[in-house]
A and B are shown apart, each in its own frame.
Chain A
């Protein structure tokens, strides 16, 4: 038992990537177990370690945690990335939920049928540029601080930098109308823990490819 958190998920981004980001941003080292076969998944279920028979699973502080939001909230709370009071937490939660909705579109994109991919990509671009990025651009402009909430690094900042990079992978020019977000991206990328996570050899996973999609479909097939 190393005492480090242990993550069980596919060897790819999916729903676990925000957890990898948050732990890395907090400077917390972790171990990973990769799900590769249906048998492995069925064994996890049989062993009773998946509360709702689903991954992600994060073993941390004696708990077998599931449900991404619950996991992320716990990590944020534990490592002081959740604001200083209830109202700051409320803002962080609102921002994170908005970003999660945008990331959900990116999450399901590789699994959409080929004939729908162009339409889905357009939706991602539209939502990012008309619904989500303007909100954070405005927040940063209005208070003029480096971080989204309370002039202090929080879960919301980590979630936003992750989302910015993920959308840029699909739409490289997406930040062109957002100077504050461009500056934010640079600042966040240069924070030591995040900079380390963005370097090769870190636990950060590459964008989903065909092999990833195949593995997920194979493991989850009924």
Chain B
């Protein structure tokens, strides 16, 4: 379980900066175990390791890292989409779909096919599986049938979504946030002057 503090106005971010709690003046910031952690990847790596979602040895960690970096690149494209100039949106959306279906999803489909296990790495749930599910759901919001050529990813999606903790997170009332809407975009633009 976790608590959340929301930045709604520029003053909120400025106060955080003035209080010296943002190492590089940036959010996300996660306070845990006595640390004020910043930098998303650092935060995620810490959580993964702490809760045994990072493989059993260095090599499994290497595979998890590689897979996560791939899904991060894909989700990065989707994350920036609402902030791109309006006249490039269509082209960028097409690129996301192309990358998802020709560069990223084939890799995970093949990984699952090659070993036949339920999870991407080491036959055990890891950060890589959670990240991939998130990426799949975000990509489906761009194009609902984006998994049509990936039967194993479809099965993967069903399986991982049914893990009790994840199932709970996917239900209304959880802390999961909705896709970026006009209000969210406007708030971010205002706070960051972009």
Contact = CB atoms under 8 A, between A and B. Distances in A.
B103 A53 contact: yes
A74 B60 CA distance: 10
Given A52-B107, A87-B33, A135-B23, A94 B62 contact: no
A86 interface: yes
Interface stretch (A35-43, A63-71, A113-121, A165-173): A63-71
Contacts of B61: 73-74, 77
B31 to A, nearest CB: 12
Interface string B43-85: 0011001100000001101110110111001000000000000
Contact of B24 (A69, A89, A98): A98
Contact residues of A: prevailing secondary structure:
helix
A67 B69 contact: yes
B35 interface: yes
Nearest to A135: B23
Of A61, A70, A77, A86, most B-chain CB atoms within 10 Å:
A70
Nearest to B32: A90
Contact of A52 (B45, B46, B58, B104): B104
B172 to A, nearest CB: 33
A131 interface: yes
Nearest to B49: A86
Contact of B69 (A70, A86, A135): A70
Interface string B3-40: 00000000000000000000111000000010101111
Contacts of B42: 90, 93-94, 96-97
A70 B23 contact: no
A70 B65 CA distance: 5
A70 B42 CA distance: 12
A97 B59 contact: no
Nearest to B107: A51
A159 B62 CA distance: 19
Interface residues of B, number: 29
B41 A69 contact: yes
Q: Which one of B25, B69, B70 has the greatest number of beta carbons of chain A within 10 Å? A: B69
Nearest to A139: B23
A78 B58 CA distance: 7
Contact of A73 (B33, B46, B62, B70): B62
A70 to B, nearest CB: 4
A97 B37 CA distance: 12
A86 B37 CA distance: 13
A57 B41 CA distance: 21
Contacts of B38: 94
Interface of B: 23-25, 33, 35, 37-42, 45-46, 49-50, 58-59, 61-63, 65-66, 68-70, 73, 103-104, 107
Counting from the closest, the 9 A-B pairs by CB-CB distance are A93-B42, A70-B65, A97-B39, A67-B69, A70-B66, A94-B42, A74-B62, A90-B46, A98-B24
